[in-house]
Amino acid sequence: KILIESKKLIISTILIFTIASIIYSLSLKPSFKSSTILEIGYYEMPDGTQKLIEKPSDLISNLKIFQLLNDQQINSFKTIEKKLIRIETSSNKATDNEKILSNMITFVSNRHNELSIISSNLRKNTLVDKIDLIDSKISFIKAKQLDNNLLKRTEIEDRIAKLKAQLPIINLEINQLEKVIIDDTNNLSLLIKNDKTHIARASISPTLEQIIFSYKSKINRLNSKKNTNLIDTKNLNNQLQILENVTLQSDELFSLEQERKILNNQLQMLMNESQVKTLPIGNIETQTINPKIQLMLLLGIIMGFITGILLVFIRNLVKKI
């Protein structure tokens, strides 16, 4: 009975809320959602398989760090089929979205160019080291079969010179990796200074510390290779002392030459290896998201009705008091 008698108040309240919701919805501007899909670059291996330049999880972790450090809002990163990454962002301006995604694409391209150079050089150097080791053995065998000890000594000394010549290459690889470590370490320092950003990054796996550790492990392997180089040089010097007392079979020489031929073929295939760079698939797609006017209108009517009933009961309670 009270509600029926106060229908004018209820209707007035509904009208006020409805008009307010209409005015508010009309004042809203549309938002824009943009996305792009990146295909992670890969190497075409000799056996036909593909090896990604970087794991999707590692790439997403670095993209999140880049996002936090550059204050760029990204809604989501999603891995598709283990080699595609979908990046999505939204804002009130489509141009802002495209600028953010373009920065992401440029960052990934530059990063993968550096990683591909390092990876390619490491694999080439591994094969070259194996070939050089076989050359050393072959030279050693041939040296034993020569009557002229001076010629034998010359060949071994050439091998020693080759080993020494490899040291600058190994040092260059170490310097390249240290550069990447410095960049990631600087990023880590910036994260530590910002507690909020640091906590957000700490929840991401793998952590930046783990990525830095993996690069340090590579440096340790290169240093181990460097030490091996020095040990080989020392061993060759020792071989010069015992050269006349060593005898080897000719079938071993044949086996080493066959192995060297196989490694040379692998090296040639690596030199001609095709590489697909990390590139976006298609253009950046942008969708316009219009305000939900009908939903706001419905909410305004409902809120007006509830508020009207509440006002009626409050007025009735005041009259009784």
pLDDT in tens, 40-66: 988 877 677 788 888 888 888 888 888
pLDDT of residue 36: 92
When pLDDT is averaged across residues 167-188 and rounded to a whole number, the result is 81
pTM tops 0.75? no
pLDDT of residue 88: 92
The whole-angstrom separation of Cα 136 and Cα 133 is 5
| Helices 94-145, 208-242: inter-axial angle, 10-degree rounding | 10
Cis peptide before 206 (omega within 30 of 0): yes
pLDDT in tens, 265-315: 878 877 777 778 888 988 888 888 777 778 888 888 899 889 888 888 888
Coil, strand or helix at 276 = strand
Confidence at 243, pLDDT banded by 50, 70, 90 = low
Q: What is the 3-state secondary structure (H, E, C) of 60-86?
A: HHHHHHHHHHCCCCCCEEEEECCCEEE
pLDDT of residue 200: 54
Spatial neighbors of 142 by CB under 8 A, at least 6 apart, are: 155, 253
**Which helix H or strand E contains 33, and what residues bound it?**
strand 31-39
Nearest Cα to Cα of residue 218 among 125, 84, 85, 96: 125
What token pair was written down for 216?
A: 């340090």
What is the number of other CB atoms lying within 10 angstroms of the CB of residue 227?
10
Nearest Cα to Cα of residue 24 among 296, 298, 320, 306: 296
pLDDT in tens, 120-149: 888 888 889 999 999 888 887 776 666 556
When pLDDT is averaged across residues 112-124 and rounded to a whole number, the result is 84
31-39 and 279-280 strand pairing: antiparallel
Query: CB of 92 within 8 A of CB of 29?
Result: yes
Task: Decide which of 202 and 163 is more confident.
Answer: 163
